[in-house]
């Protein structure tokens, strides 16, 4: 599904925070917070990071399904190789 690059970047950073190694969590959170802060600044503080994530959550769930599906396909393809 085509999304604008900024939304794609936020969804990617969100996924990486949720699914990275425990020792990478703080760093990944910093990346996501930075991207959300750019949107907040553009809105001159009229919206919060929490509200942006609530807005994007349905897209984030779709994004997670797409990645899981792609992961399953690549696993199945590698299993079929002789």
Binding mask 49-78 for another protein (x = CB under 8 A): -xxxxxx-x--x---xx--x----------
CB of 25 to another protein, least distance (A): 4
**Burial class of residue 67, CB neighbours in 10 A (0-12, 13-18, 19+):** middle
- Cα angle 7, 11, 31; round to 5: 100
Given the rule CB under 8 A, which residues bind another protein? 4, 6-7, 17-19, 21-26, 28-29, 39, 42-43, 46-47, 50-55, 57, 60, 64-65, 68
């Amino acid at each position: 599904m085509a999304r604008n690059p900024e939304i794609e970047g936020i969804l990617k950073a969100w996924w990486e925070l949720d699914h990275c190694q425990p020792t990478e969590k703080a760093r990944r959170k910093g990346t996501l917070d930075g991207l959300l802060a750019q949107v907040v600044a553009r809105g001159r503080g009229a919206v919060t990071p929490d509200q942006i994530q609530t807005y994007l959550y349905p897209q984030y769930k779709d994004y997670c399904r797409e990645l899981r599906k792609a992961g399953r396909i690549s696993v199945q393809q590698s299993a079929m190789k002789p």
